[in-house]
Structure 1
Amino acid sequence: MKALILAGGSGTRLRPLTHTASKQLVPIANKPILFYGLEAIAECGITEVGIVVGHTAVEVKAAVGDGSNFGLKVTYLPQDAPRGLAHAVLIAREFLGDEDFVMYLGDNFLVGGVSDIVQGFIERDASTAARILLARVPDPRKFGVAEIAGDGSVLRLVEKPDNPPSDLALVGVYLFDHHIHEAVADIEPSARGELEITDAISWLIEHGFGVNSSMVDGYWKDLGDPEALLEGNRIALMAIRPLIMGEVIDSQVDGPVLIEAGARIVDSIIRGPAVIGRDASLQSCYVGPFSAIGDRCSISASEVVNSIILSDSIVDDVGAIEGSVIGKFATICHRNERPRATKLVVGDHARVELL
């Protein structure tokens, strides 16, 4: 079995972070989202992985390399523009050959891995051509939605319906045999101009191929917007292994906290779960639960709770920051000059909430 990981797309819901970065490389608990998927694939015993990349290909290649750090052999598959999930399968035809494969969306975060689901597909009945993962969601109108029979077989799929037939949303992990290639070659683009994977799976059902489903037992989230990113960060931090490799001076560290090598904590309080990146500097500050401070960040005379601060950023004397996502090389500081007005330089699609 092979794996196909999708790491293209423009990440519009995560702007302005994704104006300069791949959405799949935005970190939760200081590790890129994409790496969680690669680790899940490796845990299945799969070694050959194709990664579909778009305009951020250079950045993705620099982060992942040849895949050897994950025990994988990676082949990069360029996609000229986001043309739908089924289009990703279409351009991966030569790489995939006629082998079974798991398709994993690189901006999805799934706790617990997919080893059991992959093994179940390997041992499936010969009439089954695909398996989808499903999760119950409060508002299925935002997702592809499945209607299933009592035995878990899929009766039909609908993409982002106004009147959902169920509350069962498609999770961003799919398993296919070679029949999916015939399906993606035969469907037409949807109204939004994309080849939809829901249409390709519907093609399989209409042509008599079996499609079954598995419910996701653990946590799953599409980390496509800031609120989801913070939620994923909280879940990921709950699994960290407490370890102090940096320097802690006149400070208090409570709960599960990972302090990376080179970090320096002075006259501060850190309450986990939290992670402090390499060579970060914290002076006279409070870092509360569910915070991820990136490499080489400088935090002083401030409080940070339930937030993600990406690498090389500065937070200086600004009081409390909560529920925030701060990009790389950002500077947030207290203004001492008059007039005492708030001074902002804010990029496109940013959101700022002031007291």
Structure 2
Amino acid sequence: MPFYQNINAHTVNGKRTIERLLKLRIKLDNEIPQKHLEKNLLIASWNIREFDSPAYGDRLEEAFYYIAEIVSKFDIIAIQEVRQDLKALKKLMRILGSYWEYIITDVTEGRQGNKERLAFVFDTRKVKFGGLAGEVMLPPFKAKDPDTGQTIYQPVKQLARTPYLCGFKAGWADFMLSTVHILYGTSAANDPRRVKEIKDIANALARKAADKFEWSDNLVLLGDFNIYSPEDETYSAILQAGFEIPPQLQSLPSNALQNKFYDQIAFKVKPGRFEATNNAGIFNFYEVVFTEQDEELYIPAMGDRYYTTSRGNERQNKTLYYKTYWRTYQMSDHLPMWVEVKIDHTDDYLRSKLIPPQTGDEVTDAPSV
């Protein structure tokens, strides 16, 4: 469990933090499968909004404890929107404790990169870094020179935020995770640039997964795709590349307002060796922390902006400021998405050894020497 010794139960904020943590732990235990050292692997993806940015005031101490408690329930979690300044990530790691480690990208340059990093945070008691790490670049376009007929390679436009690919091991399984934060663009379901980014990265990774020399046969593509709906072209682009999305996740919106399907976890894996179970879902932490009913408790923390941003229907706009903006910069405007994977295939392996050998392959027990 995370380290909570610095919470002061004799203060109003400390007492509230402890009470909310107890409720959060009950909800997590009821909804997330228990971690088992050898049997299962719990993978999650979470866009933690501008982790960390003072856009709506600094994150409260209690928010870090809630985030740590949620992260600790998984074995490995891909986090998007880690900022250039790593103070928030390092603070999270201190609360999680020494068993936990992270691997991050450099900052993607340019305005569209938004000074963001991508990160994998993992429990080293279960998950080991496998040695593979790289930021994914789209391959050049292969064409013929019209004058000479020779093959030429033309560079292509890269994604606004470079995807991250790492290899890990857990129990019997080795696997690659590639996390993305796809360009949002315009507020349209099928923004052409967003569609192109998803198609490009899904197809590039599908080809990589099929390469016999690749580090692992198992590839999981996960992150913030900014997908509006499963009926959109943005969603079908993942499936058309040969990835499979667990059925349990296909009808679950992942943003805080629960009306968009921004986040996805998709598999392209070797059959029988890295199987998603029937357990997968979205965890809505707003049902127990920073709830709608908690608005008045946080007025002191929200400060003057809680009052000065109100126009027209003052009560409605104050609530909008708390619900849609301020609290999403404390926790996030995304909910963590997770899936359980079976990694213990011992029984299948032992049964396979009982299959009679093919003719000519018979072996006999030899006396020990």
Q: Bigger radius of gyration, 1 or 2?
A: 2
**What TM-score do you get using the length of structure 1 for normalisation?**
0.31
**What TM-score do you get using the length of structure 2 for normalisation?**
0.30
Task: Indicate the structure with greater strand content.
Answer: 1
